[in-house]
Amino acid sequence: MPYKKILVAIDNSSYSMKAAKVGFALAHSLKAAVGLLYVVDRSKEVVNADLGITPQQSGTVLLNEAEKTIEQYTRLYDGVDKVERFTPEGIPEKEIINISHEWPADIIVMGTHGRSAISKVLTGSVAEYVIRHSTIPVLITPPGME
């Protein structure tokens, strides 16, 4: 199967930077289009009525962070002919699967935090969910990769 559309799932972590490097390198070598996906996770928004921070303001901050991160990654890795940008709101693991179908990607590239087994039991793993539910190949970059 030729990989013509590579979906790179990112956030603002160093793990995502490694995944983006791999995804862009793969896209360069295959002359493929890249989709950068940053899911706006509303569960991480900070709402504080005492400080006057409303859900709408917090959501705007999260969306701005997503757009800024995508812009930074796009500038760092110029040379890819086409970069699609995706900033859906929702549950990251589910939105990664949704966008991989809607765009439609040939492969998903993403990083992992490398959490311990006990941590995964308590908090879950986005990467593990994507691996189990994806209908296309998933390339995971390990946390220790340089």
pLDDT at residue 84, rounded to an integer: 93
Which pLDDT does position 137 carry in this prediction? 97
User: What's the predicted TM-score (pTM) here?
Assistant: 0.84
Range of the domain at 127: 5-141
Domain count for the chain: 1
State what percent of residues in the chain have pLDDT above 70. 76
Indicate the pLDDT class of residue 134, thresholds 50, 70 and 90: very high
At residue 41, the pLDDT reads 84
Question: For residue 50, is it within any domain?
Answer: yes
**What is the pLDDT at residue 120?**
47
> Is 41 inside any structural domain?
yes
Domain-embedded: residue 134: yes
Residue 123: predicted pLDDT? 41
Q: Which long-range contacts (CB under 8 A, 24 or more apart) does 79-85 make?
A: 79/28, 80/24, 80/27, 80/28, 80/33, 80/34, 81/31, 81/33, 82/33, 82/34, 83/33, 83/34, 83/35, 83/36, 84/33, 84/34, 84/35, 84/36, 85/35, 85/36
pLDDT in tens, 26-62: 999 999 999 999 999 877 655 555 555 566 666 787 8
Look at residue 125 and tell me if it is in a domain.
Answer: yes
The verdict on residue 146 lying in a domain is no
Q: What is the mean pLDDT of residues 9-32?
A: 90
Does residue 121 lie within any of the structural domains? Answer: yes
% of the chain beyond a pLDDT of 90: 49
**The domain that contains 116 carries what CATH number?**
3.40.50.620
Establish if 110 belongs to a structural domain.
Answer: yes
- 68 in a structural domain: yes
pLDDT, one tens digit per residue, over 55-108 is 666 678 788 889 999 998 888 776 666 789 999 999 999 999 999 999 999 999
**Is a pLDDT exceeding 80 seen at residue 125?**
yes
